[in-house]
Amino acid sequence: MQRAVGWLWIIGFFGSLATANAQTPAAPTSVTKYDGTYAFVSATKVNETYTDRSGRLKQCGNLSPRTSLTIENGHARFNLQQGTVASRGEFITRNMSPAPVGHGGFIAGWEIIAVGRIDENGAARARWANYDCSYDLIWQKASK
């Protein structure tokens, strides 16, 4: 009886390992080739002004995230933004950010999105936009 229980335990243990491995697919090589740290290079304003909710014309500020873009196993992140990387280097990051100071709490639609692509030279370029201003961001992959 003890021998049968021992065999059942061993079979169950290895069966559970096989099940766990089957549920955790490895990241495709086509996505992980973008893994690494990308140093911030520049941010350029796309639009100089915007119209606020009261109809007043406002100036877009200078944006300098000065944070690196990190990609690991097909997941991208910088600042408070997180997202995914596709097989050809396309990426999208987003966050639902608290409203600016003075607005109190969250504002519906205050989503900040960056959509971009990583080229064959390791340059990551993205358009970063919220409801008022847009910027073109560039990062460069650090050499290994």
* Inter-CA distances, 88 with 3, 12, 33, 41, 75, Å: 53, 40, 10, 22, 14
Amino acid letter at 98?
P
Task: Check residue 13 and report its DSSP letter.
Answer: H
pLDDT over 80 (residue 125): yes
Domain boundaries, the chain: 27-141
126 by DSSP, 3-state: which? strand
* Inter-CA distances, 15 with 20, 22, 26, Å: 9, 11, 19
pTM given for the model: 0.70
* Inter-CA distances, 97 with 30, 53, 67, 69, 81, Å: 31, 18, 17, 18, 9
Determine the distance from the C-alpha atom of residue 30 to the mean position of all C-alpha atoms in its chain, rounded to a whole number: 17
Going by CATH, does the domain composed of 27-141 fall within 2.40.160?
A: no
pLDDT of amino acid 130: 81
| Gyration radius of the chain's alpha carbons | 22
pLDDT over 50 (residue 14): no
pLDDT of amino acid 107: 52
Provide mean pLDDT across the span 90-104: 69
